[in-house]
Structure 1
Amino acid sequence: MDLVIKELKKSFNNKEVLKGIDLTINSGQIFGYLGRNGAGKTTSMRILMDVFKGDSGSIMMDGKEFKPTDYRIGYLPEERGMYTKFKVKDQLVYFAQLRGATKKEAQHSMKKWAEEFGIDIYLDQKLETLSKGNQQKVQIAQAFICEPDILILDEPFSGLDPVNSKIFQDSLLNYIREDRIIIFSSHQMGYIESFCDGIAIINDGKIVLDGDLNAIRKQLGEGKLRLRFADQRNLDFLTAYDYTIDREDVILTIPPTETKKSIIEGLFSQGIELTMFMDYLPSLQEIFIEKTGDNNEKS
């Protein structure tokens, strides 16, 4: 499946929230959708779910107009939205039936995903009696109910310990092997880097960067080296270069008159002990700050 969003705009009370965003999201990969609070992420996701309509623009699936009612859509909101006074199993069955499942299908799906996320022992308990982490697992399970074609996850790792985070990651990777679309939004950049192929960054209602994450990192790191020295207390030998310090490493910009080889050979000829050198690949957090930080438009 190929989901294509073109020139999507949306305003609320004369405030333009989405300013003509363009996105292409392919099935078979986990798509990371990033932005500061208020940038327009939630608005665009809710338009996709038909919670409300865009003012203009188009959403196409495989070249045809996208109709949300033709697809099963699972949604995990950042804020918990389930009913604390009701039993876990009753809620999961209820959400499955909301998505068109028969009662028998709903019960089967409820049992499957409760076992998948290790909450089957809590099915007869009220949600309010569970720990924060187990409440999050219940909320995750409801997003997977009825095997959605499109799965939208907003801060899914909130409240999960490392063991449960690993279980959830494995479930995501297994699920995406089918012809499905997963849109993943989080401020925890490490998770995005670990399993998202494509990403998009939205800032002030506009897409400011999108594409393959590895290709983006290579492009933005071009012309720079990451160096680590045995003794970093005195870096006077680098005064001729433009560089910054990143914890125990030096990020050095290669001048137009030099190459990676000439820089490394020059350092060795001076007797400088290098313990590591490699091409510089900026982290996703560095990229995010560059594209959405104080020097850019804020939402």
Structure 2
Amino acid sequence: MIKYISKKFLSMIASLFVLASATFFLMKAIPGDPFVREKAIPEKIRENLLAMYGLDQPVWKQYLMYLNNLIHGDFGISMKYQYRTVAKIISESFVYSLQIGIFAIILAVAMGLILGIIAALNHRKFLDSFTIFIAVLGVSIPNFLVASILQYFLGSKLRLLDVQGLNDPTDFIMPVLALSFLPAAFIARLTRSTMLEVLSADYIKTARSKGLSGRIILIRHALRNAILPVVTYIGPMTANIITGSVVVEKIFSIGGLGKHFVDSISNRDYTLIMGLTLFYGIILMVARFLTDVAYGFVDPRIKLSRGKGG
């Protein structure tokens, strides 16, 4: 198991290196520089700006400097926000994205599991059909459309919630619902299908023949095995919710990472674009790494198979 975790960790580091390198060279492939859009900027000032950010150096030297800075945890200085480092911008704005993301993850997992279990226990009944309908609807509608619908009805029409900002605890409701709707629907479908498969297994029939109560069978036997695919999905889901908040944050005017990411692209803020891209990549890869580790602890068979296979 330790060897398996070590391999996954080294693979994550290698993937981050590839992502950082690809992001750097893609930025360099864009014609011009971040200062060409400045109006009536004197050539001397432009040269000083290029020198300040090291953009006057050969590409290979810029690349080595970039990697060296990353190793020391330095994402650079924003080219549009004067005297503000990328790390500072991320630390100040990530708190909003993280709060919304955590609430959305908790809601998605809770609602998905509950709906999936209810559907499986009421197979081919009304609750099963209703859950399937909600799940199909959830995976068919993108989060930005859900956000717009919630904003229109709950904000503009009914005036129950504010449509912009995070000035009150109730302001989290619409962004969290928008981000959790799709993953909750996917988890519900996943839980339903795996629960139906598990409930028809021989060991469940044996447990019933021994006189175990339905609750014990559900919690100790059925749910433990049915939750494995959900655990696998939680990793990428976590990253997708946090990174997928880009548009949702823009819709609700939330000053999180999403707003800065969109603005950095329009402003051609190279250092901020590269820093946010790498930060999003770290979130995704760390989430998948933790999922692999958690999967091994949830299913003992993973430990045995990894141990035999090296």
The interval holding the TM-score normalised by the smaller chain is under 0.3
Q: Which has the higher contact order (CA 8 A, sep 6+)?
A: 2
- What's the TM-score, normalizing by structure 1? 0.23
Which of the pair is proportionally richer in strand? 1
- What's the TM-score, normalizing by structure 2? 0.23
